[in-house]
């Protein structure tokens, strides 16, 4: 049944993937709904309707989030390229961005199944955290243990590059060249 599937998907999301903020939103929504229902008499709470409404909201939120992540990835790559080569032409910049960040709908994934643009964002966030360049505000946006989950998600060759870069065995240019040539970043 489609309804049970929807409820199961919602519960799985809430139990395993929802952020603290999303859990607070769900709790508040349920509290308000229960208060409203209790004020209307002895009617039972329509859990399926609540679940369906929450699923629609989450789907909308996830769609917006994916677009935002994609745009953030493109801006992040552009900023890194401009930092390394301030005189780059706009056409060349776009070629490099397109090389590193897949089109939103292209579905190109790295060897580990992580889309390249997401992998690139994860690498950058991991490096910023590891080198002390991540702001305290940015740190607070990540759930507990994210650092270890990122590390475990990285392919071994990327882990090696990150380790070498953080320990000063390779420079920034060699690091990003290695990332670009990594099988995880290939089509």
Q: Return the pLDDT at 46.
A: 54
Q: Return the pLDDT at 167.
A: 93
Sequence ranges of the domains in the chain = 102-187
pLDDT for 108 beyond 50: no
Residue in this structure with the two tokens 């629609």, named with its chain if needed: 56
Residue in this structure with the two tokens 């199961």, named with its chain if needed: 8
Chain segment 110-152, per-residue pLDDT in tens: 445 677 888 888 899 999 999 999 889 888 888 888 888 889 8
Let me know: does 78 contact 93? Beta carbons within 8 Å: yes
CA distance 125 to 32: 37
57 Cβ contact partners less than 8 Å away, ≥ 6 residues apart = none
**Other Cβ atoms within 10 Å of 4 Cβ, number:** 10
Q: Return the pLDDT at 109.
A: 44
> Residue 34 corresponds to which tokens in the numbers above?
């229960």
pLDDT tier, 174 (very low <50, low <70, confident <90, very high otherwise): very high
CA distance 157 to 173: 16
**Strand-pair partners of 109:** 115
Give the global pTM. Answer: 0.44
CA distance 120 to 162: 12
């Amino acid at each position: 049944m489609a309804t049970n599937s929807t409820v199961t998907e919602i519960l799985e999301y809430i139990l395993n993937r929802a952020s603290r903020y999303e859990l607070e939103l769900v709790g508040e929504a349920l509290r308000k709904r229960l208060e409203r229902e209790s004020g209307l008499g002895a009617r039972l709470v329509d859990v399926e309707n609540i679940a369906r409404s929450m699923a629609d909201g989450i789907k909308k939120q996830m769609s917006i989030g994916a677009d935002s992540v994609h745009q953030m990835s493109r801006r992040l790559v552009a900023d890194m390229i401009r930092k390394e080569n301030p005189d780059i032409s706009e056409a060349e910049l776009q070629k490099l961005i397109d090389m590193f960040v897949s089109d939103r709908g292209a579905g190109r994934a790295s060897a580990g199944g992580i889309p390249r643009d997401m992998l690139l964002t994860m690498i950058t966030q991991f490096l910023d955290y590891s080198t002390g360049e991540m702001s305290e505000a940015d740190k607070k946006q990540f759930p507990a243990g994210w650092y270890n989950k990122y590390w475990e998600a990285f392919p071994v060759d990327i882990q090696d590059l990150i380790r070498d870069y953080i320990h000063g065995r390779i420079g920034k240019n060699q690091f990003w060249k290695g990332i670009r040539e990594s099988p995880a970043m290939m089509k």
